[in-house]
């Protein structure tokens, strides 16, 4: 029986290690996304200002953000796959809302 428990513990450990690795990879992806965005968007805005645009025009030019928008969509999908979807409307939420409205009136 102890051997079976050790096997289950090993399986749980391996599964937990894989999950932690995937979360770590997501955070690396997020970090790279933020660093690259900061550098390249800053460079594009600087270039726009250098070509004669005002600071406001350079910041509001949507072509500066197009590539990073689609990369951001991919990042969100990666986050949902790794971290799961938020359970906003689960059973606990319903119970909290019922109690909130019961004690509110």
**Chain position carrying tokens 């500066």:** 64
**Whole-model pTM?**
0.66
User: Within 13 Å, how many C-alpha atoms sit on residue 97's CB side?
Assistant: 7
Is 37 in contact with 68 (CB distance < 8 Å)? Answer: yes
87/101 Cα distance (integer angstroms) = 20
Delimit the domains of the chain by residue range: 2-104
37-78 confidence digits (pLDDT tens): 889 888 888 888 888 888 788 778 777 777 788 889 999 999
82/21 Cα distance (integer angstroms) = 10
Which residues are within 8 A (CB) of 45 and not within 5 positions of it... i.e. 6 or more apart?
A: 55, 58, 59, 64
79-105 confidence digits (pLDDT tens): 988 888 766 667 777 788 788 888 775
Question: Considering just the CA atoms, what is the radius of gyration of the chain in Å?
Answer: 23
């Amino acid at each position: 029986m102890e051997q079976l428990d050790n096997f289950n513990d090993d399986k749980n450990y391996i599964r937990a290690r894989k999950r932690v690795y995937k979360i770590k990879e997501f955070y690396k992806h997020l970090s790279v996304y933020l660093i690259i965005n900061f550098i390249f968007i800053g460079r594009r805005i600087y270039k726009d200002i250098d070509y004669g645009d005002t600071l406001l025009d350079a910041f509001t030019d949507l072509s500066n953000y197009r590539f990073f928008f689609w990369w951001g969509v991919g990042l969100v999908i990666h986050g949902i796959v790794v971290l799961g979807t938020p359970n906003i409307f689960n059973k606990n939420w319903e119970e909290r809302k019922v109690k909130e409205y019961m004690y509110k009136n």
